[in-house]
Amino acid sequence: MWGRPDILWGLLALAIPVALHLLQLRRFKRIAFSNVAFLRDVQKETRSRHRLRNLLILLARLLAFGCLILGFADPMLTPESNVGEPGRNAVSIYIDTSPSMMAAGESAPLVQEAKGKGNALVESFAETDLFHVFTSGFQGQDQRFLTQPEALERIASIQLSSHSPGLEAVMERSLDQLARADAASKKAFWISDVQESSHEVEAMAMPDSTVSWHLLPVQANPSTNLWVDSVWFETPLALPNREAELHVRIGHDALDGVDGLPLQLRVDGVAEALGSFNVVPGMPTDTVLRFTHGAPGPHLVEVHIDDAPVSFDDVHHVGYNVSSGVKALHWSGIPLSERTTKSVQQAFESSNGLVEVDWVQSLPASPALMGYDLLVVHAIESPSRGSVSLVREFMSLGGTVMVLPDSMARGTSWVAEDATWVRGEGRVTDVQWSHPLFQPVFRSVPSRVDWPTYDRILNRRPRAQEEVLATAANGLPYLTRIPSKEGGDLYLLGTCLETGNFTRHGLFVPTLLRVAESARTRSALAQRLGDTEALTVPRQTGEQSDNGNLGRDNVWRIVGADDVQIVPEPRSTTRGTSLRWGDALTEPGGYTVLRNDSALAAFGLNHSPEESNLVVWDVEAWRERTASLRWPEVQIWTQPESQIRTLVEQHISGKRLAWYFFAAAMLALAFETLLLRRWNKLFS
Q: What is the pLDDT of residue 330?
A: 95
Residues 526 and 672: their CA atoms lie apart, in Å, by 81
Lowest mean per-residue pLDDT among 82-96, 124-138, 226-240, 356-370: 82-96
Q: What is the pLDDT of residue 404?
A: 92
pLDDT band at 546 (very low <50, low <70, confident <90, very high): very low
Q: In what order do the strands lie in the sheet with 270-279?
A: 270-279, 258-267, 297-305, 315-322
pLDDT band at 239 (very low <50, low <70, confident <90, very high): confident
- Average pLDDT over every residue of 440-452: 72
**Cα within 13 Å of Cα(559), Cβ side:** 13
**Residue 649: other Cβ atoms inside 10 A:** 16
Residues 565 and 560: their CA atoms lie apart, in Å, by 6
**Taking a C-beta distance cutoff of 8 angstroms, is the pair 285, 252 a contact?**
yes
Lowest mean per-residue pLDDT among 153-157, 262-266, 546-550: 546-550
Residues 457 and 459: their CA atoms lie apart, in Å, by 6
**Taking a C-beta distance cutoff of 8 angstroms, is the pair 185, 211 a contact?**
no
Backbone angles phi, psi at 155, to 5 degrees: -65, -40
Q: What is the pLDDT of residue 541?
A: 47
CA dist 388 → 137, 385, 403 (Å): 48, 5, 12
447 pLDDT higher than 70: no
Of the two residues 423 and 367, the one the predictor is more confident about is 423
Lowest mean per-residue pLDDT among 51-55, 617-621, 664-668: 51-55
223 pLDDT higher than 70: yes
Task: State the amino acid at position 406 in one-letter form.
Answer: D
By DSSP bridging, strand 355-360 and strand 400-404 are: unpaired
27 pLDDT higher than 90: no
Q: Label residue 593 exposed, middle or buried (CB < 10 Å: 0-12, 13-18, 19+).
A: buried
DSSP conformation letters of 102-113:
GSB-SSSBHHHH
DSSP 8-state class, residue 212: E
% helix, strand, coil for the chain, step of 5? 30, 30, 40
Q: What is the pLDDT of residue 486?
A: 60
Q: What is the pLDDT of residue 60?
A: 79
What is the torsional sign of CA 489, 298, 611, 305? negative
The end-to-end CA distance of the chain, in Å, is: 47
- Average pLDDT over every residue of 334-354: 89
Among 102, 94, 93, residue whose Cα is nearest residue 611: 102
pLDDT band at 37 (very low <50, low <70, confident <90, very high): low
Among 87, 85, 95, residue whose Cα is nearest residue 188: 95
81 pLDDT higher than 70: no
DSSP conformation letters of 277-344:
EEE-TTS-EEEEEEEE--SSEEEEEEEEE--SS--TTSEEEEEEEE-S-EEEEEEESS-TTSHHHHHH
pLDDT band at 41 (very low <50, low <70, confident <90, very high): low
Q: What is the pLDDT of residue 683?
A: 54
Beta bridge partners of 76: 656
319 pLDDT higher than 90: yes
Residues 355 and 513: their CA atoms lie apart, in Å, by 8
> Element (H or E) spanning 569, and its range?
strand 569-572
Q: Which residues contact 670 (CB under 8 A, 6 or more apart)?
A: none
639-643 own/partner pairs: CB under 8 Å, 24+ apart: 641/113, 641/116, 641/117, 641/120, 642/120
Backbone angles phi, psi at 52, to 5 degrees: -65, -40
- Average pLDDT over every residue of 545-564: 71
547 pLDDT higher than 50: no
The tens digit of pLDDT for each residue in 395-434 reads 887 889 999 998 887 778 788 777 888 999 999 998 888 8
Among 74, 54, 53, residue whose Cα is nearest residue 10: 74
Q: What is the pLDDT of residue 550?
A: 44
Q: What is the pLDDT of residue 472?
A: 93
Q: What is the pLDDT of residue 214?
A: 93
Q: What is the pLDDT of residue 443?
A: 64
Q: What is the pLDDT of residue 512?
A: 92
**Taking a C-beta distance cutoff of 8 angstroms, is the pair 114, 641 a contact?**
no
Task: State the amino acid at position 340 in one-letter form.
Answer: T
Residues of the chain above pLDDT 70, percent: 87
The tens digit of pLDDT for each residue in 466-483 reads 899 999 999 999 999 988
Alpha-helical regions (H) of 472-521: 508-517
- Average pLDDT over every residue of 539-545: 52
pLDDT band at 67 (very low <50, low <70, confident <90, very high): confident
- The alpha carbon of residue 187 and the mean position of all alpha carbons in its chain are separated, in whole angstroms, by 26
The tens digit of pLDDT for each residue in 617-645 reads 888 888 888 888 888 888 999 999 999 98
Residues 178 and 134: their CA atoms lie apart, in Å, by 13
Backbone angles phi, psi at 383, to 5 degrees: -65, 140
Of the two residues 33 and 498, the one the predictor is more confident about is 498
Is the pTM for the entire model greater than 0.75? no
Average pLDDT score, the chain: 84
Q: What is the pLDDT of residue 150?
A: 95
358 pLDDT higher than 80: yes
pLDDT band at 549 (very low <50, low <70, confident <90, very high): very low
**Residue 108: other Cβ atoms inside 10 A:** 13
- Average pLDDT over every residue of 593-617: 89
- Average pLDDT over every residue of 662-683: 75
